[in-house]
Structure 1
């Protein structure tokens, strides 16, 4: 596939002109936010945008209806959230949120910092498409199946498998060489591409890029044992005991929309925040007393600490009024379905239907509501699609 249109992925310096106003997308490599950075985002959302922080499926954030782009740029630069004007849109890095704290074979958070620094330090890599995605999986398999272009997957504490276009390339690399290999793969992507935005759009990209890397970089090992990459929907929610006996709290955010006031309360906890690619967040390094207080305060404000909440089964596109192509306000319809008990756990039979009013929809398991056939924001994997058409909603059951 060769693209003829330019990559228009938004950032902070190039806003997207959404139907409800300018939209800014802020990259947060590895989802890692310091409390003061979340506070800066909350203030920007309240004073310069629509009052909410949108969490994205890449662990980034968006602000809608931005009223002053220059003021936003200045605030984000001061907060360390816009460290590079030339490379801002290519800093798409997702990492296993619980790495180094709960489970996993390796702590990948240090690799996030090194990869981000390496990307920014290389002028040529500023030419990468804004849709390129890097993944760093600690071995549990939570982010390797999310459709990355270039990734590493921990095999053990010091060995990583190189993933290209979401598949195991067979190449194995040490932790110390992992970032260098990912940067070399990014250069190889640029050499192979002919207008394509994603690595999987290039014919035979995985094998061709693997051959280049094995030819140009000495000392790379290979393995005949391939890692199976799958999609997982196990969102880290609730109380999790860390390896150091402190607590990490996973919190769901309904439809990924975090009100600025709630974000300020999270920032006030003064602990590391990790945004996840499931539009949720983790507050880490809490003692037990503090964790109990956080749940007591933030649950009534709408954060979800119950892993069985129906809110965790649903996602939705922007819908009206944010998207001109949407046929309806899908987010309002989803919210009403959840609150009225029409989103039910997996296991109930699901049938294809069409021509439904929103109030008629009862759907089970993981589901994505879309305002049109494009199905923007749809999670990967087995998901029931609920799509607005010119004649009501249509249900397409998960395969």
Structure 2
């Protein structure tokens, strides 16, 4: 492991950040963010993959250094809050390092990788992405230039179902049906079709090309779209380096989706072999106690010994015998996890709110719990996601379409549909709602339009 004195960013990034008003302030496991409830640490989990041992290390860190809770982020990473000891950062680094969760101090904020959580589990994917995840992470950590990527830069690995490809990745790899090739996308646009075995290498080269382009322009850039909105100049550099062009025509359109496949629904997912299954569990508001987290780890230990943290604030536990999975489902349901499709909590997220954030105008999590307690969705009816925000920054809001619930200085919430609904940009007139009116306003907004079916079993 590099020493603590290693520079947090490379010279290439220092040159590339000359045009923005400020540096990227995304927190990490080494660079903590100061909040009203103490310091916040964000632990990158490439592809959301964790072993049981690593999950326990995170729980130990949350108990020993933080407030005893763990947050799941919209990029499949983990956060610890309430770190108050001045030496917490050093101890956290040591804990994570021993668990293999901090392979490079210089790259710890650059390791933002989301991956299809059901890849290789339900018979609908074009391959198991774990090899890509591990190779991409190793190549990132081996690239001196990649240490200059901002904490906002995102790699998306998609198994062909179109779920993570829709999450706004700067660089995306999408597996193709023949398993011999992968589509490479930059800023959401197909730019090359590369051999599957070399796909992670081309993804890193694309990121390095972006940094070089930004440096040449003297631009302070966090994402590819900052300097190359269509990804065309970065793509041209890749083709000059030998990357073949993207596939075109009806076959490409049919096999590489451009729309979201959606997150895995809560519940059991039968593996193709018929002898085991996975359990998909959602976490209310993306926050859980270490006791609940350890329950997930124990269930994972009864299966493949693996946890897959999803970008939709859930966890997939693969390789469970059916009898164990059914018992585990009942246990997780009793513990407050989402294990069924029709819970009103599915797709509901919130920022930290008061008292953790000084900018928040409300205790959004408490208000969300009160509003959702009264909701009772119709069986099988799919509702739009909801995000509660304590201020106009809307930290942690989802991609796509969602019900935007924003606290106002007057004590009321503004409720509106935001984002893209069925491919059309939507922005309904905002409804002002008090805490009493909020359940009804939410119900109306969530039924404005419904997302496409997302069952992946």
Please report the TM-score for the alignment, with normalisation by the length of structure 1: 0.91
For residue 336 of structure 2, what is the aligned residue in structure 1? 302
Q: 1:200 aligns with which of 225, 244, 248?
A: 225
Q: Please list every run of at least 4 consecutive aligned residues from structure 1 whose deviation after the TM superposition is greater than 3 angstroms.
A: 225-228, 231-236, 342-348
| Alignment partners' CA distance in 2, 1:397 and 1:176 | 41
For residue 383 of structure 1, what is the aligned residue in structure 2? 402
For residue 182 of structure 1, what is the aligned residue in structure 2? 203
RMSD of the TM alignment (CA)? 1.9
How has the CA–CA distance of structure 1 residues 200 and 212 changed in structure 2, closer, same or farther, with 3 Å as cutoff? same
How has the CA–CA distance of structure 1 residues 199 and 344 changed in structure 2, closer, same or farther, with 3 Å as cutoff? farther
For residue 244 of structure 1, what is the aligned residue in structure 2? 273
For residue 355 of structure 1, what is the aligned residue in structure 2? none
| Alignment partners' CA distance in 2, 1:385 and 1:39 | 35
For residue 129 of structure 1, what is the aligned residue in structure 2? 150
Alignment of 1:57-76 (within 5 A): 57-67=74-84, 68-76=88-96
| Alignment partners' CA distance in 2, 1:125 and 1:341 | 46
**Displacement after TM superposition at 1:311 (Å):** 0.7
Alignment of 1:43-62 (within 5 A): 43-62=60-79
Would you say 1:235 and 2:269 are equivalent positions? no
Q: Which deviations, in whole Å up to 9, do the C-alpha atoms of 1:55-97 show, x marking residues without a partner?
A: 0000000000113222211111111111111111100001001
Alignment of 1:204-223 (within 5 A): 204-217=229-242, 220-223=244-247
**Displacement after TM superposition at 1:23 (Å):** 0.1
Would you say 1:317 and 2:334 are equivalent positions? no
| Alignment partners' CA distance in 1, 2:96 and 2:160 | 33
For residue 37 of structure 1, what is the aligned residue in structure 2? 54
Please report the TM-score for the alignment, with normalisation by the length of structure 2: 0.80
Q: Which deviations, in whole Å up to 9, do the C-alpha atoms of 1:248-301 show, x marking residues without a partner?
A: 000010001121001112222312110000000001101112112211222111
Alignment of 1:345-364 (within 5 A): none
1:310 partner SS: coil
Q: 1:274 aligns with which of 305, 308, 315?
A: 308
| Alignment partners' CA distance in 1, 2:273 and 2:52 | 21
**Displacement after TM superposition at 1:146 (Å):** 0.2
| Alignment partners' CA distance in 1, 2:157 and 2:26 | 22
| Alignment partners' CA distance in 2, 1:385 and 1:346 | 23
| Alignment partners' CA distance in 1, 2:228 and 2:138 | 30
Would you say 1:395 and 2:415 are equivalent positions? yes
| Alignment partners' CA distance in 1, 2:340 and 2:231 | 40
Contact 1:106 1:158 (C-alpha < 8 Å) held by counterparts: no
Q: Which deviations, in whole Å up to 9, do the C-alpha atoms of 1:141-188 show, x marking residues without a partner?
A: 01001010011111222221111012222x111111101111110111
How has the CA–CA distance of structure 1 residues 136 and 51 changed in structure 2, closer, same or farther, with 3 Å as cutoff? same
Structure 2, unpaired ranges of 5+: 1-16, 419-425, 427-457
1:112 partner SS: helix
Structure 1, unpaired ranges of 5+: 349-363
**Displacement after TM superposition at 1:51 (Å):** 0.9
Q: Number of residue pairs matched?
A: 382
**Displacement after TM superposition at 1:344 (Å):** 7.6
Contact 1:167 1:229 (C-alpha < 8 Å) held by counterparts: no
Contact 2:182 2:199 (C-alpha < 8 Å) held by counterparts: yes
For residue 188 of structure 2, what is the aligned residue in structure 1? 166
Contact 1:101 1:244 (C-alpha < 8 Å) held by counterparts: no
Q: 1:253 aligns with which of 270, 283, 286?
A: 283
**Displacement after TM superposition at 1:342 (Å):** 7.0
Q: Which moved more, 1:74-83 or 1:364-373?
A: 364-373
Contact 2:70 2:288 (C-alpha < 8 Å) held by counterparts: yes
**Displacement after TM superposition at 1:205 (Å):** 4.7
For residue 114 of structure 2, what is the aligned residue in structure 1? 94
For residue 352 of structure 1, what is the aligned residue in structure 2? none
